[in-house]
Structure 1
Amino acid sequence: MYSLLLSIIYFAFISLGLPDSLVGAGWPVMHDDLGVPIAYAGIITMIIASGTIVSSLMSDRLTRKLGTGLVTALSVALTAAALIGFSTSGSFWLLCLWAVPYGLGAGAVDAALNNYVALHYSSRHMSWLHAFWGVGASISPFIMSYALTEGLGWASGYRIVGIIQIALTVLLFIAIPLWRKVNPGIPQDHDAQEGAPITKPLSLRGALRIPGVPLILLAFLAYCALESTAMIWSATYLVQDRGVTVETAAAFASFFLLGITAGRFLSGVIADRLGDRQLIRYGFLLIGVGALMIALPLETSVFALAGLVFAGFGAAPVYPAIIHSTPENFGRHNSQAIIGIQMAAAYTGSTLMPPLFGVLGTWLGMWIFPFYIIVFVILGLVMTERLNGLVARRKTESAA
């Protein structure tokens, strides 16, 4: 049963990644069909991100009331409905309407599954699970490409992914009894470490008062800011500032995402040996090395291209390790609420920071790209190291 539930969670993480790349993959055709400017993609993604932030903040209350299994099933069902809605939309404003459940479904399942895995599975499984998110995020552009090249239209791309999500929803509803059979007495009503009853969900204000929570939120925002900025702007930087051909830049920009996915599979092998703190520390340092390689003022672009791959590998363990360390840093009874808030911080960083770079890059020049990344590397590293010191002092005081 343990292995069966783990397999289902793996599929759920693939499902989590599937919708994430669809808007970007289909928009070059969609905006023409809908008769709207290409910049309107930002409106869609902002609505999705807003819904994701809201449902992430509500995840603690929802999971305590419904359980992880039911929240996961309902969230995937909501996402499936939104994807089918996209496939039937003939106007931009209908897309905006369906973007609301699109985002709400993503945030709740993300926070619920991440907390469940952090509580009940080892660090290596967290790394591998997030690698499967990368698999899902990489598959969906190919599905959209197939729909477009075969003359089926962008709506068919959404419909295909929606049908996959519906099939997974059925599987998740069937599997709901497994969650409690595998982990009976899980900490939805009691703290598994302390045996203390949980009387009510932890509020946002209450969570922010816990020492160290603001530190990890800033670190998580920093990581997601640099990740999304690199994914969106690296190809433009390579072309405009380093004189790389469009084809080569596009290939290496995709290597950043592939580096994250492959790196998570590889880091899962050593995750339990190194531990979450070391994975976070070395991950940020490797991203910094990659950014410095990109910034080197050399005539050849080889170091810049290699630096982008280095940065992708460095980024691989940071997100999963931050999530997995949350129960240890803040207590199992607080982890669901804090992971939900971390998800909100993550989506805030990935939504707001790339457009900010776009403004700064237009004003100052694309040359600032690696230095923009380095700023967030320093912020993330400083915040996580301060948290490590805080947690170590807390453990020393408890032991005394």
Structure 2
Amino acid sequence: MLAASTVGYLTSSVIAGFSIARLGVGRLLALSTVLASVSLTGWAFAPGLLPVAGCALALGLGSGAIDSGLNAYAAGAFGPRHMNWMHAFFGLGVAVGPLIMTAALGAGLSWRWGYGLVAAGQLALAVAFASTVRAWRDRGAAGPSTAPASGQVPPAAVPVAETLRLPAVWLGALAFLLYVGVEFGAGLWAFLLLTEGRGLTAAVAGICVSGYWTSLFLGRVVQGMVAERLGSALVLRGSLVGLVVGAVLIALPGPAWLAVTGLAVVGFAAAPVFPLLTLTTADRVGARHADRAIGMQIGLAGLGGAIGPTVIGVLIARTSVEALGPALVALTLGLLALHAAATRRPVRPA
């Protein structure tokens, strides 16, 4: 199921960046949410594993396109505050999803009802997107549905090879891979570090890990407003440095509070990185290539969510749970270096 959904997510998120020019953001979102709803409905009625795997592939295709479409639109239509808030609500969705399933099971219903309820929500979103297609076009996203300014080449007319030849496109995509590896890797393995490595009880460690995700949510709400005042570039650089500092605190041998502090610093510093990296894509690659670059970034982000925690888990299995800290330090330093290389020669918006 994980492999099928990952393949679907990677495929559609990359393709979405190239197909927005033809479909428009509104139509892409409507079709993708319909596909997600159908896939979840298939899970609710699937008689066995094989149909579930097929639905997982379809759900990945829908989810990747939704992520790419929304981020491409938001990068052109929103400022730093609203971009961060949009991603903060992604975090709320991550928290609400398990609660929906828990509520269904707690009410004595089958697990199939949990997926059915979410499928209904996706269908409602699809209807909303379909009924507002014109509004998505008229809002003036960075995407190709916007009428080009005088002398500007429409993104649809830009050769794909021209986009793929830009080093900043690949550096930016790799930065997303490393970032999501840090975010998911820290969130997944911190509990093990705090219990087996630093001696905390399971209950206390669980609260600390929950605090990590809470700091990520609050950081996006707070730092979105800060970025609106100080500028995205300054807040993004500070956050990347903060990630390194937090990772070092986790890596240092010492009492549990040191690792817990580092975890909170990583969560708060990580908060604006994904939204602001997306928001500043056009600054790195040019407006004509932004939609395609964002699609590739979202695709590599999904890959990073699978690879990062896996690699860290292998390191922990072969050494000890203390490998988490050094692994996070290496990933955050790599992320800082990639961002510096990608922004060394900013591209003027086309």
Contact 1:189 1:198 in 2 (8 A): no
1:76–1:202 distance in 2 versus 1, CA, 3 Å: farther
**Equivalenced residues, count:** 349
CA gap of 1:180–1:227, structure 2 versus 1, over 3 A, is same
- Aligned match of 1:253: 209
How far 1:80 moved relative to its partner?
1.0
CA contact (8 A) 2:13 2:296 kept: yes
Give the drift of 1:332.
1.4
2:91 pairs, out of 128, 131, 134, with: 134
CA distance in 2, matches of 1:224, 1:178: 31
| Preserved CA contact (<8 Å) 1:60 1:201 | no
Asked whether 1:352 is paired with 2:307, we answer: yes
Q: CA deviation at 1:364?
A: 0.9
The aligned runs of 1:99-114 (5 Å cut-off) are: 99-114=56-71
Structure 2 SS opposite 1:389:
coil
CA positional deviation for 1:83: 1.1
Provide, for residues 167-215 of structure 1, a one-character-per-residue CA deviation record: whole Å limited to 9, x for no partner: 1211221111212333399633754485223454653x54331132222
1:147 to 89, 104, 109: 104
Moved more, 364-373 or 179-188: 179-188
Residue pair 2:73, 2:141 contacting (<8 A) in 1 also: no
1:289 matched to 2:245? The reply is yes
- Cα deviation 1:334-366 (Å, max 9, x = unaligned): 111110111111111111121111111100111
Say whether 1:75 aligns with 2:36. Answer: no
Tell me, yes or no, if structure 1 residue 386 matches structure 2 residue 341: yes
How does 1:318-329 map onto structure 2 within 5 Å? 318-329=273-284
Whether 1:271 and 2:220 are equivalent positions in the alignment is no
Mapped contact 2:76–2:142 kept (Cα < 8 A): no
- The match for 1:93 is 50
Compared with structure 1, are the counterparts of its residues 295 and 180 closer, same or farther at alpha carbon in structure 2 (3 Å cutoff)? closer
1:34 corresponds in structure 2 to: none
Contact 2:9 2:60 (C-alpha < 8 Å) held by counterparts: yes
Gaps in structure 1 of 5+ consecutive residues: 1-43
Residues 202, 223 of structure 1: CA spacing in aligned structure 2 closer, same or farther, 3 A cutoff?
farther
Match of 1:341 in 2: 296
For residues 142 and 231 of structure 2, what CA distance do their matches in structure 1 show?
26
Tell me, in whole angstroms, the C-alpha distance in 1 between the residues paired with 2:57 and 2:150: 37
Calculate the TM-score normalised by the size of structure 2.
Answer: 0.94
Q: Tell me if 1:317 matches 2:258.
A: no
Aligned ranges 1:54-73 → 2 under 5 Å? 54-73=11-30
- Alpha-carbon offset, residue 48 of structure 1: 0.9
Q: Which deviates more, 88-97 or 109-118?
A: 88-97
1:100-249 paired onto structure 2 within 5 Å: 100-183=57-140, 187-188=144-145, 191-192=148-149, 195-200=152-157, 202-203=159-160, 205-249=161-205
Partner amino acid for 1:348? L
Q: Give TM-score scaled by structure 1 length.
A: 0.82
Change (3 A) 1:159 1:214: same
Whole-Å separation in 2 of the counterparts to 1:185 and 1:230? 33
Q: Counterpart of 2:29 in 1: which secondary structure?
A: helix
What amino acid is aligned across from residue 73 of structure 1 in structure 2? Answer: A
Deviations 1:355-389 (A, max 9, x none): 11111110011101011111110001011112222
Contact map agreement 1:59 1:108 (CA 8 A) in 2? yes
Q: What SS does the corresponding residue of 2:167 show, helix, strand or coil?
A: coil
1:119-138, Cα deviation, whole Å (9 max, x unpaired):
12212111111111111111
Contact 1:191 1:333 in 2 (8 A): no
> Contact conserved, 2:137 with 2:146, CA < 8 A, in 1?
no
Counterpart of 1:128, as a letter, is W
Task: For structure 2, list consecutive stretches of 5 or more residues without a partner in the other structure.
Answer: none
**Cα displacement string for residues 99-120 of structure 1 (whole angstroms, at most 9, x for unaligned residues):** 0111000111111111111112
> CA–CA distance in 2 between the matches of 1:315 and 1:292?
14
C-alpha displacement at 1:310, in angstroms?
1.4
One-letter code of the match for 1:383?
L
- Cα deviation for residue 62 of structure 1 reads 2.3
